[in-house]
Amino acid sequence: MAEFHGDFQVPQGRFAIVAGRFNALVSEALLSGCRDALARHGVAESAVDVAWAPGSFEIPLVARTLATTGRYVAVICLGCVIRGETPHFDMVAGQAAAGVMQAGLATGVPVIFGILTTDTVEQALNRAGLKGGNKGADAALAAIEMVNLLAAISSS
Ligand code: INI
* Beta carbon of 86 within 6 Å of any ligand 1 atom: yes
CATH number at residue 68: 3.40.50.960
Query: Is residue 106 included in any domain, yes or no?
Result: yes
Count of the separate structural domains present in the chain:
1
16 pLDDT higher than 90: yes
pLDDT tens digits, one per residue of 81-108:
999 766 788 899 999 999 999 999 999 9
Q: Per the domain annotation, does 51 fall within a domain?
A: no
Mean pLDDT of 53-76: 98
**Which distant-in-sequence residues (6+ apart) come within 8 Å of 60 by Cβ?**
77, 95, 96, 98, 99, 100, 102, 103
Residue 36 located in a structural domain: yes
Q: Which domain holds residue 124?
A: 29-45+60-154
Tell me, yes or no, whether 124 lies in a domain.
yes
CA of 77 to the centre of ligand 1 (A): 14
Measured CA to CA, the distance from residue 132 to residue 62 in angstroms comes to 30
Could you tell me if the CB of 27 is within 6 A of ligand 1?
no
Residue with the smallest CA separation from ligand 1 atom 8 is 86
Percent pLDDT > 70 in the chain is 99
CA angle 119, 121, 127 (to 5 degrees): 90
